[in-house]
Amino acid sequence: MRVHTLGDGEPALAVVVGQHGDEPCGERAMERLLADDDLELTGAVTFVVGNERAAELEQRFVDEDLNRAYPGDPDAASHEARLASELLDELDDLVVLDLHSTVSTDEPFALYQRLTPRSRELIERTGLDRAVDIRTEPGGLTNHVDGVAVECGYKGSEAAVDNAERVVRNVLAAYGVVEGEAAVSDPTVFEVTERVDGAGYEFLGENFVVVPAGEPFARRGEEELTFDEPFYPVLMSTDGYDESVGFAAQLRGPLSTVDDDE
């Protein structure tokens, strides 16, 4: 783990990059910002580079998925379980923006596991059009902090780096860390209802576009997957996961109409 603080005073938030060693977009966006001599700082932000060892190996993780290892254990045998515990200690009570990339879509979108006043504010300050409630997945960082993850685009693409930089700049301006105008959005919320298990399927649909009841959305040989009710694919792809096609979700509507968790 590596930590950089940009600016003076108490950080307004933390930006976590590189939880997965094969997703470099966040760290590259961070490096652009750290190298920008024209950045007009009016506050401070902490950048945390997560899984450096996995990045050196150019693989997603060393022992297990870091973003499924929280809250972790400082005495664990697993590299990621120890790292998860250390990372949570470093983040303390900061609001957290967590940057990722995917193989499912080029359009950036936000994800959250807890909707609190602080995470809601961060979602709005990303300026993005879509947000996904993915609390069904255990062990994620944003289940243990007031935070939001952003999928920035296709893994390894320059567009994902550009999107990550744009989102971070917007968030930093919105929190008063840098000078500049910030877009504030009321994104459409999709609520994940289940993981669609299975390996070797070709994904036939389009993420965030409704699949009608009974329509095939994935195929493996002669076998086709269908649902009895309409749903929206989220993070679905042919090659994204070893054990699943992705996630099925329902449309909730604008974030402003969704209540905070009790």
What is the separation of C-alpha 31 from the centre of its chain, rounded to a whole number of angstroms? 19
183: tokens are 């877009």
Tell me, what's the pLDDT at 239?
86
Task: Give residue 242's pLDDT band: very low, low, confident or very high (50, 70, 90).
Answer: confident
Q: Which of 110-114, 115-119, 135-139 has the lowest mean pLDDT?
A: 135-139
Reading across the β-sheet that carries 244-254, which strands appear in turn? 2-7, 44-49, 14-17, 96-102, 147-154, 109-112, 130-133, 188-197, 244-254, 232-234
CB 202 within 8 A of CB 219: yes
Residue 11 — pLDDT band, cuts 50, 70, 90?
very high
CATH fold of 2-174: Aminopeptidase (3.40.630)
d(CA 245, CA 241): 6
Inter-CA distances, 254 with 98, 100, 184, 188, 261, Å: 22, 23, 13, 4, 16
For the cut 90, the answer to whether the pLDDT of residue 240 exceeds it is no
Going by the DSSP 8-state scheme, the letter that residue 231 receives in this structure is B
Going from N- to C-terminal start, the domains of the chain cover: 2-174, 192-257
pLDDT value of position 205: 96
Here the tokens at position 157 are: 């693409």
Q: Find out whether 124 and 59 touch, Cβ atoms under 8 Å.
A: no
Q: What is the per-residue pLDDT across 13-29, written as a single tens digit (0 to 9) for each?
A: 999 999 999 999 999 99
Q: List, for residues 34-74, the tens digit of each pLDDT value.
A: 999 999 999 999 999 999 999 999 999 999 999 999 999 99
With 0-12 / 13-18 / 19 or more C-beta atoms within 10 angstroms meaning exposed / middle / buried, residue 206 is middle
Q: What pLDDT, in 10s, does the model give residues 136-188? A: 998 899 999 999 999 999 999 999 999 999 999 999 999 999 999 999 999 99
